[in-house]
């Protein structure tokens, strides 16, 4: 059966909380993102499914999600370890990266 990567063909594959996925899972995405197809090898044979999708993801800046604000209690080591879960090759396949800073509730105007 096709999985999420193939089901996202001609659409969007959105992974929220990217750093919470295992490194093995993220590294498995590298080839389908590049080749736009996924091959599944089983005893019965190899099946190839289309996987041309837009890869969109989001993640917090640290495990608690409050960095660099005063509510953040994460150590430098925890932040480096958290961000280190995303390998360089996966980051290279993300074309647009944007850091979004928090906005206070009372700072929002209509």
If you average pLDDT over residues 10-14, what whole number do you get?
94
Residue 82 falls inside a structural domain: yes
**Residue written as token pair 């953040």:** 72
The predicted structure's pLDDT at residue 80: 93
Q: Residue 110 — very low, low, confident or very high, per pLDDT cuts 50/70/90?
A: low
Q: Find the CATH number of the domain harbouring 42.
A: 3.40.50.300
Strand spans (E) along 1-110: 12-16, 37-42, 45-50, 54-58
The structural domain count of the chain equals 1
Residue 81 falls inside a structural domain: yes
Model confidence over 25-80: pLDDT tens digits? Answer: 888 888 899 999 998 888 889 889 999 999 999 999 999 988 888 899 999 999 99
The predicted structure's pLDDT at residue 64: 92
Residue 36 falls inside a structural domain: yes
State which residues form the domain around 33: 4-97
């Amino acid at each position: 059966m096709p999985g999420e990567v193939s089901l996202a063909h001609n659409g969007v594959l959105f992974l929220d909380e990217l750093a919470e996925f295992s490194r093995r899972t993220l590294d498995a995405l590298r080839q389908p993102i590049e080749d736009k197809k996924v091959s599944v090898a089983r005893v019965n044979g190899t099946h190839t499914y289309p996987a041309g999708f837009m890869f969109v993801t989001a993640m917090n800046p640290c495990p608690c999600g409050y960095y660099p604000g005063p509510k953040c209690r994460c150590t430098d080591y925890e932040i480096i370890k958290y961000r280190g879960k995303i390998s360089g090759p996966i980051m290279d396949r993300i074309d647009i990266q944007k850091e979004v800073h928090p906005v206070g509730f009372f700072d929002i105007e209509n």
